[in-house]
A and B are shown apart, each in its own frame.
Chain A
Amino acid sequence: QKEVEQDPGPLSVPEGAIVSLNCTYSNSAFQYFMWYRQYSRKGPELLMYTYSSGNKEDGRFTAQVDKSSKYISLFIRDSQPSDSATYLCAMTARGNEKLTFGTGTRLTIIP
């Protein structure tokens, strides 16, 4: 079993829809949780990060962490074609420099 599981997709949704992206993990020591967006042939761009459990909102993006279920989510509201990219979740334990990445979910927003 991988430490971090992420559905690779591909996921296609119509423009304006709410997108839900998820990751599950097995290591209870993980405390930092990140979401990255990666366009084709570009480096990953940090979208949001949260520490421990809870919600965090930034514009159209909301990140949720449920440590009791070992489950994290990224919601995208009013999705736009420019949101089409691969979304990677990543996480790490406090004091551990190495990130553990999900495989990434390919998202396409259909105009």
Chain B
Amino acid sequence: GAVVSQHPSRVICKSGTSVKIECRSLDFQATTMFWYRQFPKQSLMLMATSNEGSKATYEQGVEKDKFLINHASLTLSTLTVTSAHPEDSSFYICSARAFPGANVLTFGAGSRLTVL
């Protein structure tokens, strides 16, 4: 079946540093990937839509300079949290449409970021 791989699964960093999270589609090509954020016991919040070969589209209220998204190939999108602060600590999850013609998303396992 279609698999979206996300790495790292957990990362701890110091305040002020930058962290990169990778999202790969393992057995399919994804021209579009989606990055979500999830706070404890809450539902998923769409942060941005990552488009291969072009700029990402950010949701209202999401700082594009804070959350840099690069979608350099059909199987890889990266999210970089720049100058991370404790309030950026969260669960970040990427997803892609793995079923051609169906508007259905397959999610990665998520990356838990803790900023000290």
Contacts and interface: CB of A to CB of B under 8 A. Distances in A.
Partners in one complex: yes
Contact of A88 (B32, B43, B103, B109): B43
A101 B43 CA distance: 7
- Bin chain A's interface residue count: 20 to 34
Interface string B19-31: 0000000000000
B67 to A, nearest CB: 17
Contacts of B32: 97
A96 B103 contact: yes
B86 to A, nearest CB: 19
B107 A94 contact: no
B44 A88 contact: yes
A99 to B, nearest CB: 6
Contact of A97 (B43, B99, B103): B103
A44 B103 contact: no
A47 B89 CA distance: 28
Nearest to B108: A43
A41 B112 contact: yes
Contact of B107 (A45, A98, A103): A45
Interface of B: 4, 6, 32, 34, 42-44, 46, 49, 91, 93, 95, 97, 99, 102-110, 112
Given A88-B43, A90-B105, A97-B97, 6 more contacts: A41-B112, A43-B4, A43-B6, A43-B107, A46-B106, A103-B42
